Amino acid sequence: MKRRLLGSVRSRAALAATLVVAVALVAAGAAVLLALRDNLGEQASAGADSAARRVATSLVGGVAPDSLDLDDEDHPVQVVDDDGRLIAATEDLERISGAGTDAVKPVAARRDDDGDDDRHGGRGGGGDDDGAGGTVSGSTDYSDGSATVDGDSAAYRFAEVHVDDTAYGDLTVYAGSSLAAEQSAVTTTKTAMLIGFPLLLVVVGGVTYVVTRRALRPVEGIRAEMAAITASQDLGRRVPQPDTHDEVARLAATTNETLAALQESVERQRRFVADASHELRSPIASLRTQLEVGAAHPELLDVPGAVEDTVRLQELAADLLLLARLDAGERPGGGEVDLAALAREELSQRTGDRLPVTVESARSARVTGSRGQLARVLGNLVDNAQRHARTEVVVDVGVEGGAAVLTVADDGAGVPAEERERIFERFVRLDDARSRDGGGAGLGLAIARDVAVRHGGTLTVRAAPQGGALFELRLPAN
């Protein structure tokens, strides 16, 4: 069952869409979380830096560490001297980590009396500005930790600001800003994603499945009709073609075109078999009659007639075999053939023609193909011209516009314009041809055209200058 579901285009499309959206959502969710965490972290860093610098400014202004206003529970503060001792801390600070020291109870600060004298020109420690001075570092370092203030524990971002040359030596101020907002926002966003993403994936998968199913419904109709055609073997049926302009409609149109071509091919094969059976029946029956008469009365045996019928059978069998090979898709050879040399050689070997064959011109025209098949085309065209010509047959070979051209013309009655395509069909013989034909089966021109097409060329007929028919073979020239 699982394999069957995964074998469905709808299921695979829904699964693929779900996976793509899932990857996109995970990437987008990670980016959102990182951006949210960075933004809130920057806000926490700014708050911690502001609180630390506020305390540092008070120390530079002369406020003693034990007199600092550190009642802000939202920003726990530590002031550590250069010996690492805690000399000031936020009231109610119970626990801290990640800052200057783990201590929470400050000790008394020690004044740097020598430094004080130097800063005030050797004067004593008295005066309103006694203890004032120092510089606040322009840079800030940050660290993450935690603290417990008045029973409330939370994670903090600590800012570290150095204050140099105070009355109490070099001091370091640590001030924290809660990361609770960042953690809460990240947690809330994660929860929303964990709940929303699966729901969104279910919706995407379901919508993709439904849309794909509706889009493929015509394909199922095509498949069902093709199955019915296969079962009934009725090639006259056609698949339903949707009234759209998408790939499915083009598939249906192509399928119907294929069915039409297949139907035409099958009907052509049926006609071919019927016509071949008819054509074979006459010479076989004639030959059998002559042999039976000869067996009963040897003195009456018509040997020339029997030989003639046998030759007709041999020629017809050869024609049928060649057509079968052409229909099977036999490719022509890849050799180079000079049509002019081929015409001179083939025509020189013809004996017993009713009329002379004149070669008007034979300019070199080289093509790629099967010499035997091209010789068969020339022979069939000349044989056809011999049956219809009155006084002469003319052959011409040359090159025109990148094509090798071979023409065979006669001075007979010609071919009516409406019959010029029909004569290339198999077993088709015009009435005039039937009256003058000495036994042709109507396959010569069909074979000639099939060979021409297999060689990438054309074979057409038109009126000849002599008044008869002119057959023109055009092939790609080398």
Q: Give residue-wise pLDDT tens across range 388-400.
A: 999 999 999 999 9
247-266 residue pLDDT tens: 888 999 999 999 998 898 88
For the chain, the C-alpha Rg in angstroms (whole number) is 52
Residue that is written with structure tokens 């965490």 in the block: 37
Find the mean pLDDT for residues 93-103. Answer: 91
The correct CATH number of 335-476 out of 3.30.565.10, 3.40.50.720, 3.90.1150.10, 3.40.50.1820 is 3.30.565.10
Contacts of 271 by beta carbon, 8 Å cutoff, 6+ apart? 426, 427
Tell me what pLDDT residue 218 has: 87
In what helix (H) or strand (E) does residue 172 lie, and over which residues does it extend?
strand 169-178
Residue with more model confidence, 191 or 111:
191
Tell me what pLDDT residue 309 has: 76
What CA–CA distance (Å, rounded) separates 335 from 367? 8
330-374 residue pLDDT tens: 777 778 999 999 999 999 998 888 899 999 887 899 999 999 999
Find the mean pLDDT for residues 150-179. Answer: 92
Q: How many degrees, rounded to 5, is the angle at CA 473 between CA 276 and CA 452?
A: 50
Percent with pLDDT over 90 in the chain: 44
286-343 residue pLDDT tens: 888 888 888 888 877 778 878 877 877 887 788 888 877 777 777 777 789 999 999 9
The helix/strand/coil state of 464 is coil
What is the domain partition of the chain in residue ranges?
1-234, 247-327, 335-476
pLDDT, the chain, mean: 85
In what helix (H) or strand (E) does residue 475 lie, and over which residues does it extend?
strand 469-476
Residue that is written with structure tokens 């009365």 in the block: 297
Range with top average pLDDT, 118-132, 383-397, 421-435: 383-397
Residue with more model confidence, 47 or 272:
47
End-to-end CA distance of the chain: 59
At 267, is the pLDDT very low, low, confident or very high (cuts 50, 70, 90)? Answer: confident
What CA–CA distance (Å, rounded) separates 446 from 319? 10
Tell me what pLDDT residue 129 has: 46
Report the predicted TM-score, pTM, of the whole model to 2 decimal places: 0.50
User: Same fold for the domain at 247-327 and the one at 335-476?
Assistant: no
pLDDT over threshold 80, residue 271? no
Q: Find, among 168, 181, 186, 152, the residue nearest to 76 by Cα.
A: 152
Tell me what pLDDT residue 113 has: 59
Tell how far CA 477 is from the center of its chain. 36
What CA–CA distance (Å, rounded) separates 149 from 161? 21
What CA–CA distance (Å, rounded) separates 438 from 390? 16
Tell me what pLDDT residue 241 has: 87
Tell me what pLDDT residue 132 has: 63
Tokens of 25: 């959502």
Q: Find, among 90, 120, 119, the residue nearest to 103 by Cα.
A: 90
* Of 24-38, 117-131, 193-207, 447-461, minimum mean pLDDT range: 117-131
* Of 71-75, 99-103, 231-235, minimum mean pLDDT range: 71-75
What CA–CA distance (Å, rounded) separates 446 from 426? 5
The verdict on domain 247-327 having CATH code 1.10.287.130 is yes
pLDDT over threshold 90, residue 10? no
Cβ–Cβ < 8 Å for 160, 143: yes
